[in-house]
Structure 1
Amino acid sequence: MRIFIAGAAGAIGSHLVPQLVARGHEVTGTTRSADRTGAVRALGAEPAVVDALDPDSVADAVAKAEPEVVVHQLTALGGPATLRNVRRGVALTNRLRTEGTDHLLAAARAVGVRKFVAQSNALWMERTGGPPAGEDARIEPDPPRDVAGAVAALRHLEAAVTGITWAEGIAIRYGGFYGPGTGLSADPEAVMTRQLRRRRVPVIGGGAGVWSMVHIADAASVTVAAIERGRSGIYHAADDDPAPVGEIMRAMAAAVGAGPPRRVPAWLVGLLGAKGTVDLMTRARGVTTEKTRRELDWAPRYPSWRAALPEGLS
């Protein structure tokens, strides 16, 4: 198939493109910067420089590529982990998940795309206090105020993509990434790796919230399966071992040779205005993948982050 990947040089895209090319697909991959076209071409894709927030730029690139499938992997969450950079990245990511999604959908419809696959997130499943959420669960409707914009952007993306009637519309909720090219990898300059080694990522409260993790290669393989066999709706990309945040973070720190994370009271972080972070650390649910396994005939190469760390980081 001819496949257009928006965000081809990102964490998932850099693993997804080679997997698709190896399976015989013809891939066009976007980048925001002309300086990165060589990196996209090295992955096996034809590069396209696109401003995802400019509808004309998106429409022109999609029309030129004439794809059968469009894949939306756009975020702006990389870079230095400074407060200013994180805030800027979250704000831009929110726009990419709202305006960017709408631009890509319009361009895809104009050229008769038959499948549209987009990146969502498994961290914000509805806080019911129950077990890990299945693919039929919804995004949290009442998140803390400081993350309301980000969660609303996820809801917009999922509703817009799965609501189309002119093609198969698929949203994939990914668990927390680790592995080459992600923030948690063997690269000493990877953001999460560096912060863990500096002991700047504390466990908040008891760290009792539950996270689901996924190795980046498995995240890409779920996406390949969704492109080739998926039907309209939601799929989850996660391993088989959702676990308490505190446990995961202690294992992450050990895997990168860092001391154990510090612990900070939830009430103190809340007073600093980071109630969303408190929520993630204390109330997150994790996800299951029964539908994904059944409909996509998929299973993770790394079924547990426990067994994969630290070897899976490189």
Structure 2
Amino acid sequence: MRVFVAGGTGVVGRPVVEALAARGHEVVASTQRAANLAIVEGLGASAVLMDGLDEASVRRALLDVAPEVVVNLMTALSAPSDDYGKWLAITNRLRSEGTKVLMSAARDAGAHRVVAQSASFMTQPGSGPTDETAPPYLDAPGPIGVHVQANIAAEEMVLDTPGIDGVVLRYGFLYGDHTAIGPGGDIAKAVEAGTMPIVGTGAGHYPFVHVDDAVWATVRAVGTGAPGVYNILDDEPAPQADWLPFLAGILGGPAPARISEEEAAERFGVQSVYYGNQLPAASNMKAKAELGLIFAHPSWRQGFRAVFGAREGS
């Protein structure tokens, strides 16, 4: 099968490209940097330069490749920023503007299936345990609302493009190598240093997924599963009050401090309040039933130990 991976050099993109090529697919992957062309080729795929926000660039790439399946993993999250809204700005454009161009080009190139990355951590607070039908937090404050709106707009385009079987994979918070919750990652360093506090009661339920499991699900979705939305996250929704001290123990960091929602919003932004104290728990049952999702790391507890190693007493 000929598969085009848009965003083939990111944290999820690289192993997805490598896994698809290893399974015998004819894989073409895009990158925005000429320096990454050799990286893609080293994964067993062909490489093409493409700017996901440039319509001519996207159309040229897709029409030249004429893929049967398109996998959209385009983001711009590799460079950290203290400003959450600015950090998400290009990714939001890739989700809204970029997805519109990509879906049009995929249809015109003859693709019959598109698998697209989205996020599972965007559900309306107070809705209880949630599945893929739960209401999204479209009216969320500040950068959260902007990001949720961009994600939902992208999802609708993927699902509603005529002639395309659209599959949306709502990843949980990724952890593992080359992520923020991995060795040397920003969140891991903050937890080890004791600078990431528990917000309020720490009741926000983080949906975690190891990078390897996100990759497995993405490769699986290329050829399996009905069109629709799937939560790709592990079996154990993680309250911040549980996972943050647990990770601090593994890393040998101090016990996390506790701060109020008001102080968190002032110091870190409104997103810290939403994720830390308001995010409802989410379910992966649909992905298990319909995609046959199987986890190498079914719980973040086991997964964190595998990624970081367990120090004595943790």
TM-score band w.r.t. shorter chain: over 0.9
How many residues in Structure 1 have an aligned counterpart in Structure 2? 309
TM-score, length-normalised on structure 1?
A: 0.93
Q: Could you give the per-residue CA deviations for residues 16-35 of structure 1, whole angstroms, max 9, x where no partner exists? A: 11221121111111111111
Residue identity matched to 2:213: D
Counterpart of 1:237 in structure 2 is 232
Moved more, 274-283 or 231-240: 274-283
Q: Secondary structure at the match of 1:70?
A: strand
Structure 2 unmatched ranges of 5 or more? 310-314
Q: Call closer, same or farther: CA 1:49–1:261 in 2, change over 3 Å.
A: farther
Q: Write the mapping of 1:125-140 to structure 2, written as runs, cut at 5 A.
A: 125-131=123-129, 133-140=130-137
**What is the Cα deviation at residue 259 of structure 1?**
2.4
The residue matched to 2:273 in structure 1 has which SS? helix
Residue identity opposite 2:57 in structure 1: S
Aligned-partner Cα distance in 2 for 1:11–1:179? 9
Task: Indicate how the Cα distance of structure 1 residues 43 and 257 shifts in structure 2: closer, same or farther if over 3 A, else same.
Answer: farther
1:65–1:260 Cα change, 3 Å: farther
Residue of structure 2 in register with 1:74 after alignment: 74
CA, structure 1 residues 313+14, in 2 after alignment: closer, same or farther (shift >3 Å)? Answer: farther
Q: Distance in 2 between matches of 1:205 and 1:47?
A: 47
Match of 2:246 in 1: 251
| Partner AA of 1:140 in structure 2 | Y
Q: Secondary structure at the match of 2:163?
A: coil
Question: 1:195-274 residue pairs with structure 2 within 5 A?
Answer: 195-271=190-266, 274=269
- In structure 1, what residue type is equivalent to 2:123? M
Question: Could you give the per-residue CA deviations for residues 258-280 of structure 1, whole angstroms, max 9, x where no partner exists?
Answer: 32322221112234582232112
Report deviation, 1:127. Answer: 2.0
Displacement of 1:255: 3.0
The amino acid of 1:274's aligned partner reads G
Aligned residue for 1:183? 180
270 and 179 in structure 1: CA distance in 2 versus 1, 3 angstrom threshold:
closer
CA shift at 1:249, angstroms? Answer: 1.7
With over 3 angstroms needed to count, the CA separation of the structure-2 counterparts of 1:128 and 1:109, relative to structure 1, is same
SS of aligned partner of 1:309: helix
Residue 3 of structure 2: SS of its match in structure 1? strand
8 Å CA contact 1:256, 1:310 repeated in 2: no
Question: What's the Cα RMSD here?
Answer: 1.8
The answer (yes or no) to whether the contact 1:302–1:308 under 8 Å persists in 2 is yes
Q: Distance in 2 between matches of 1:56 and 1:313?
A: 43
Please report the TM-score for the alignment, with normalisation by the length of structure 2.
0.93
1:117 aligned to which of 115, 130, 136 = 115
2:221 is paired with a residue whose SS is helix
Supply the distance in 2 between the matched residues of 1:181 and 1:270 (Cα, whole angstroms).
27
Report if the CA contact (8 A) 1:215-1:312 is conserved. Answer: no
Q: Is the 8 A contact 1:143 1:276 kept in 2?
A: no
Aligned-residue sequence identity (percent) comes to: 33
Alignment of 1:49-128 (within 5 A): 49-80=49-80, 82-84=81-83, 86-128=84-126
| Cα distance between partner residues in 2 of 1:39 and 1:250 | 37
Offset at 1:253? 2.6
Q: Which residue matches 1:172?
A: 169
Shift of 1:247: 1.1
In the other structure, the counterpart of 1:306 is 301
Q: Is the 8 A contact 1:9 1:40 kept in 2?
A: yes
CA distance in 1, matches of 2:41, 2:281: 36
Judge conservation of contact 2:127–2:134 (CA < 8 Å) in 1.
no
Output the CA distance in 1 between the equivalents of 2:47 and 2:162.
29
Give the direction of change, closer, same or farther, for the CA distance of 1:99–1:145 in structure 2 (3 Å limit): same
Against the structure 1 CA distance between its residues 248 and 264, is the aligned structure 2 distance closer, same or farther, given a 3 Å change threshold? same
CA distance change for structure 1 residues 26 and 254 in 2, over 3 Å: closer, same or farther? farther
Contact 1:79 1:191 in 2 (8 A): no
Report the alpha carbon displacement of residue 120 of structure 1 after superposing the two structures with TM. 0.7
Output the CA distance in 2 between the equivalents of 1:144 and 1:88: 15
Unmatched 5+ residue regions in structure 1? none
For residues 26 and 283 of structure 1, the distance between their equivalents in structure 2, rounded to whole angstroms, comes to 43
CA drift of 1:40 comes to 1.7
